[in-house]
Amino acid sequence: MESKSSASAGTNEVSMLAIYAAAFFSLSITLMKGLAIPLWCISLGVPPAYMGVILSARSFVPLFLSIHGGSLMDQLGVRRTLLVLAILNGLLPWLYPVFPFIIAVLILELFGGLVSSLAWIGAQTALARVAQGDSKSAGRFSFATNMGNLAGPVLVGFAWKLGGPIAGFGIISLWGFLLFAAVYFLPVGDRPKEPITSWKNLMPKWSVYRQAFVMLKEPGVDLVVFATFLRISAYSIQASFYAVALVHLGQNEFNIGILMGVAGLSSGLATLLGAPASRVFGSQVVVLIGGISIAIIFISMTPYLSGFSIFFTAAVIFGLGMGVSLPLLLSVLSNAIPREQQGLSVGLRSTANRLAGVVVPIGLGIVIEFLGISNGFLVIGIVLLLVLIIGSIVLLRRARKVSEARG
């Protein structure tokens, strides 16, 4: 009996290590491209408004298919789906230098954004199924995610400075194949799946979307989705025009990679502070909203700063705000949703991610085109803070009324 128990514990430990490795190599691909694609657009001479469209393209298709992608994870199995996505993440980066045209970048961002988005959904779904809401596992998962966000951009910036676009995109390709290696050891306890007998099984179903949006009636879920939108709005600034602003301010590719990476390091460390901070302030909501506010403020003030040390400090504080909020989002959502709907719930949250990823770069690009980069960052920062404050007040009042009605 003891041997069976120890074998089961060993299997679960291997599963969790594989999940943490998948976290390391999944979301970080998006941040690595958040450095590489703006640099590539600058080298191609793309104007700010068009650049905003290109940088939002990575989120456009996932905006409509994230819920369906989460449903596919439940239907087809996390491991099987992730293996295919990891291979695509390894192959697609080479097509950017092969086709150095604006329209090609747009098309690759449309398709590549879906691939990387679904890979991140898969990693989160694997965590939700195995950890089942355990806050310690969620913290470690978040920490691994942000360690990837540290290493990835630094390596891309270093490679780009030494070897140009081919070296930079080569590092992103390597990341995709390392994700494949992590997923290979990822059983995640999937039940045996039936073979795919028809392409109709892979097509979106309106019933799935209706089921996902019904979840928004729950007060905890609506707050998580709203907070996710604002948190990823701050991230979308970093993943789009942050590198452009730093180039404008005289920073080289390696320095930019370090700044994006140190934000990931700060965020990774801050994920471990989510639960303690909630105990200190007596509320997860206060920490969540406070963290997102900090992230918005310190990314929006970038064009008004000067000197690498100042940029470094602002990046650390930005990462602190981003990191402290992530495990709270993951933990609250996984506790609010049944295990068999975890993929669907992650897809719903990812839809909020991608809505921010579409709206923010386009809006910021248009404002920069007309008002300049400094005013563009200022305007977007003020708007996001107002939405966060007003929306939080409305949703918290709604939650209080629903709680009183339920007794």
pLDDT of residue 352: 80
Q: Rounded distance, CA 335 to CA 238, Å?
A: 30
CA within 13 Å, CB half, 314: 20
pLDDT of residue 205: 57
Q: Rounded distance, CA 66 to CA 369, Å?
A: 30
In a domain, 79, yes or no: yes
Residue with tokens 């963290």: 291
What's the rounded mean pLDDT across residues 157-171? 95
Domain count, the chain: 1
Higher pLDDT, 267 or 25: 25
Kindly tell me if the per-residue pLDDT of 383 is higher than 80: yes
Query: What is the average pLDDT value for the chain, to the nearest integer?
Result: 82
In a domain, 199, yes or no: no
What's the rounded mean pLDDT across residues 267-291? 83
Residue with tokens 């995640």: 188
Q: Rounded distance, CA 140 to CA 131, Å?
A: 11
Question: Confidence band (pLDDT; 50, 70, 90) for 114?
Answer: confident
In a domain, 335, yes or no: yes
pLDDT of residue 3: 47
Q: Which of 14-18, 151-155, 250-254, 334-338 has the lowest mean pLDDT?
A: 334-338
Of 23, 12, 21, 13, which Cα lies nearest the Cα of 346?
A: 23
The string of pLDDT tens digits covering residues 337-374 is 655 555 566 667 777 877 888 899 999 999 999 999 99
Kindly tell me if the per-residue pLDDT of 199 is higher than 90: no
Contacts of residue 324, defined as CB under 8 A and 6 or more positions apart, other chains included, come to 270, 271, 273, 274, 277, 287, 291
In a domain, 244, yes or no: yes
In a domain, 198, yes or no: no
pLDDT of residue 268: 77
In a domain, 194, yes or no: no
Angle at 15 between CA 130 and CA 334, to 5 degrees: 20
Indicate the helix (H) or strand (E) that contains 75. Answer: helix 48-76
The string of pLDDT tens digits covering residues 282-321 is 777 888 899 999 999 999 999 999 999 999 999 999 999 9
pLDDT of residue 293: 95
Contacts of residue 272, defined as CB under 8 A and 6 or more positions apart, other chains included, come to 139, 143
Of 360, 154, 170, which Cα lies nearest the Cα of 263?
A: 154
Kindly tell me if the per-residue pLDDT of 376 is higher than 70: yes
pLDDT of residue 270: 87
Question: Confidence band (pLDDT; 50, 70, 90) for 12?
Answer: low
CATH number, domain containing residue 155: 1.20.1250.20
CB 26 within 8 A of CB 148: yes
Q: What's the maximum distance between 2 C-alpha atoms anywhere in the chain? A: 71
Range of the domain at 296: 2-187+206-406
The string of pLDDT tens digits covering residues 232-265 is 999 899 988 999 999 999 999 999 999 999 998 8
The string of pLDDT tens digits covering residues 36-91 is 999 999 999 999 999 999 999 888 877 776 666 666 666 667 788 889 899 999 99
In a domain, 27, yes or no: yes
In a domain, 377, yes or no: yes
pLDDT of residue 51: 94
pLDDT of residue 321: 93
CB 322 within 8 A of CB 313: no
CB 378 within 8 A of CB 300: yes
Q: What is the CA radius of gyration of the chain?
A: 20
pLDDT of residue 72: 66
Q: Rounded distance, CA 402 to CA 407, Å?
A: 9
Q: Which two tokens stand for residue 104?
A: 């090609």
